[in-house]
Amino acid sequence: MTNTPVILTCELTKSYGSLAAVQELNLSVGPHRITAFLGQNGAGKSTTIKMLLGMVRPSCGEGTVLGKRITNAQENRDMRRKVAYVAENKPLYGYMTVEQTIRFASSFYSDWRTDVARRLLNEYKLPPQRKVKALSKGMRTKLALLLAFARRPELLILDEPSEGLDPVGIEHLLQMLVAQASEGVAIFFSSHQIAEVERVADHVCILDNGHLLVDASLDQLRQSYRRIDLVFASAPPEREFRIIGVEKIQTKGHQMSVFASKNAEAVIQRARDLDAVSVEVAPVGLRDIFLETVKEN
Amino acid sequence: MFFKLNPTTGQPLYLQLMQQIRHAAETGALRDGDQLPGIRTLAEELVVSPNTVAKAYSELEHDGLLELRQGSGAFVTVKRRTRSLTDHVQVARRRLRDLIEQLREEGLLDEEIKRAFEAELLYPAEIVSK
């Protein structure tokens, strides 16, 4: 197993006039893992993905996908053969039927798996003869996913793949992601479904205002983020807790709540040294990590 | 075997899986020689990254509780030592029951006892693991 990143960017930047959509992004996405790409609407996720695929030209900086430079047209074509991509708006030809769309897509890819396409058509309950323009949003998403999952790519990039899907559809999507990952496919996907991300992802990147704020494994986040609720006999000594790893302190009367991205032990130790009446430590879920990180920025 | 992983407990999923497999071996729910599902099968069943299952299996192999055979899966190896742990756990549970009974008599509510336990469990584990 090599550990060469499947996606690597160096100071990747995209500006639209005075608006910087993505700023000096240094991203390194490892192989053999599921990486989730989180951020609010307009954080720069889709712009980043489009730059990676060569669909949007970076203003400056550079990057490679599967070792191919994103700004080189020839290398870009080579790369696209090994990357399956599901776009955010699921662009499909409205005048084609489901069956025609699948046949059309299959003719482009040498890694196409007819058996998988047929199985998914069944599982997704897509009507083969219906025109794409007459599909519901959820069915459209399923068709776009089918076109990606029927291939055997080295890297799978999905932009908001769960949009429009009901809970059953989302569960099926996650199982497909796990199955693909089991076959050695690296997965990079953006999502707003934090609860789902928290289950399947190995690694999380949080983008806000074009900046990368968090780039860590979920195991690491689970083990290091803590909320420590303290009660003191007198006014809480807030200043004493401004140490490395403490991201936020809230005080209300005799109560103090500390949000720490690491170093929770030091906070607890300090609380005991300062005679806190009560010390309660709680883990922090990905939703709170995301919300706090984005708010602080 | 039924496993249940909780993504929000602040503990890596692979550790949860390891503990549940170990617990199953200690209670006898898993016996010596029992076969566990393959990495892909279990990952799809639990809807977690295959790396989570792979890491749990390989750590358990390192601990001597699982034997990974090329191409044929993971097999439980329960030694006598594991068995004696079951007795330990039972003794510990009896002591815990006594302690909780005592705390209740002293007027603590179950919710308060639970919170105190959780706080204490989270506290030293982090210091000990350093």
pLDDT of residue B130: 38
| Best residue of B39, B49, B58, B122 to probe chain A, by most A CBs closer than 10 Å | B49
CA B28 vs CA B1, B75, B85, B87: distances in Å: 12, 14, 11, 12
Residue A198, CB half-sphere, CA atoms under 13 Å: how many?
Answer: 20
pLDDT of residue B31: 87
Of A33, A284, A286, nearest to B51 by CB-CB distance is A33
B10-63 pLDDT per residue, tens:
899 999 999 999 988 887 888 889 999 999 999 999 999 999 999 999 999 999
Two tokens, residue A218: 């979920």
pLDDT of residue B129: 43
Q: Which residues of chain A have pLDDT under 50?
A: none
Q: Token match 């989180």: residue?
A: A38
Decide if B40 and A223 are in contact by the 8 Å CB cutoff. no
Write out chain B residues lying below 8 Å of A195, CB-based: 7
Confidence of residue B121 (pLDDT cuts 50, 70, 90): confident
A264: closest CA among B53, B46, B125? B125
pLDDT of residue A1: 55
pLDDT of residue B85: 67
Confidence of residue B122 (pLDDT cuts 50, 70, 90): low
A150: closest CA among A193, A104, A196, A190? A104
| DSSP label at residue B38 | P
A23: closest CA among A61, A52, A50? A61
pLDDT of residue B123: 61
Give me chain B's average pLDDT, please: 85
One-character DSSP codes across A136-175: -HHHHHHHHHHHHHTS--SEEEEESTTTT--HHHHHHHHH
| ipTM value | 0.87
Distance in Å, alpha carbon of B87 to nearest chain A alpha carbon: 30
How far apart CA B53 and CA B81 sit, in angstroms, is 25
A105-135 pLDDT per residue, tens:
999 888 899 999 999 999 999 999 999 999 9
Rg, Å, chain A Cα set: 22
pLDDT of residue A208: 93
Confidence of residue B91 (pLDDT cuts 50, 70, 90): confident
pLDDT of residue B83: 60
What's the predicted TM-score (pTM) here? 0.86
